[in-house]
A = this chain, B = another copy of it.
Amino acid sequence: MIGFLDSGFGGLTVMKEYLKKYPEYDYIYLGDQANAPYGPHSTERINGLVLKNVEFLIEKGCKMIIIACNTASADALRVVQQKYKGKPTILGVLVPAVEETLQKTRFGNIGVIGTRGTIKSNAYARELEKYSVLYTPTEKRANEKIKVYQQACPLLVPLVEEGMIKDTVSRMMLKKYLRPLKHAHVDALILGCTHYPLLQKEIERIMGKNCTVISSAKAAADAIGDYFRNHPDVEKQLSRKGGRTYYTTDCPERFSNLGSKFLGQKIEGIKVDV
């Protein structure tokens, strides 16, 4: 069983990418709707929530857990990885996006957008720095290092959740948030929040042809093939009956209505567990 953990239904954009590539596995999704959004919470509180929710997924039999929330990945991944020491495997969504970005950027000007929590944690900038050896500068710029430009976009989550994806207001806010990144000539932009893939087309339009937009959701699913090849022992433990189970800690109706948009298919039989 593969478990997904998110603060709400946003992580369903990550699960959607997994289901496309690996439909055969059994999946369980836990949306911590009762404590959503994680964005404005303190690191301590996020760590506590993630620990509790990871325990829930382990009890349900998950042999692999994906922390699908960027804010939670940024803050709590290391804490839970250290606690469980590989049993089960716990992965986040930051590193795959970081690796893909470093391979795709041409000039090393990298933009990151996310919630206040994700940006404040500085986790993307830290990981980009850590893996920066993956960036191959052009000969002319051989000695140049990567430059990271971060931008918190706190209004995008509520706008997406209100279904205002093609609304003038969303376009105005996107232009406002992306202006400094365009100005800095970023040529690769990480969508560091599970909600942003729903705005990806508009973001690409605003950023223009010279900027590659990387969805952390898609990057996470793309990276898992390599992970399975390198860890066949983990892959072997995963059950393959194509099962899907959805849990939410509050508001199942809202989870179902909005979640179905994020997953791209109707969600039925949601279970509530506190």
A45 pairs with B34, CB closer than 8 A: yes
Instruction: Determine the distance from Cα of A262 to Cα of B188 in the docked complex, in whole angstroms.
Output: 39
Task: Scan residues 148-191 of chain A and give those whose CB is less than 8 A from a CB of chain B.
Answer: 154-155, 158-159, 161-162, 164, 168-169, 172-173
Instruction: Determine the distance from Cα of A34 to Cα of B41 in the docked complex, in whole angstroms.
Output: 6
Copies in the assembly, this chain: 2
Contacts of A127 in B (CB 8 A): none
Instruction: Determine the distance from Cα of A154 to Cα of B37 in the docked complex, in whole angstroms.
Output: 14
How many residues belonging to A are interface residues under a CB distance threshold of 8 Å?
22
| Dominant secondary structure of chain A at its interface with chain B | helix
A40 pairs with B155, CB closer than 8 A: no
Task: Scan residues 240-265 of chain A and give those whose CB is less than 8 A from a CB of chain B.
Answer: 250-251, 254
B162 pairs with A158, CB closer than 8 A: no
Let me know if A237 is at the binding interface, CB within 8 A: no
B169 pairs with A162, CB closer than 8 A: no
B250 pairs with A41, CB closer than 8 A: yes
Given A169-B169, A169-B173, A40 contacting B162 (CB threshold 8 A): no
Please report A residues at the B interface, Cβ cutoff 8 Å. 33-36, 40-42, 45, 154-155, 158-159, 161-162, 164, 168-169, 172-173, 250-251, 254
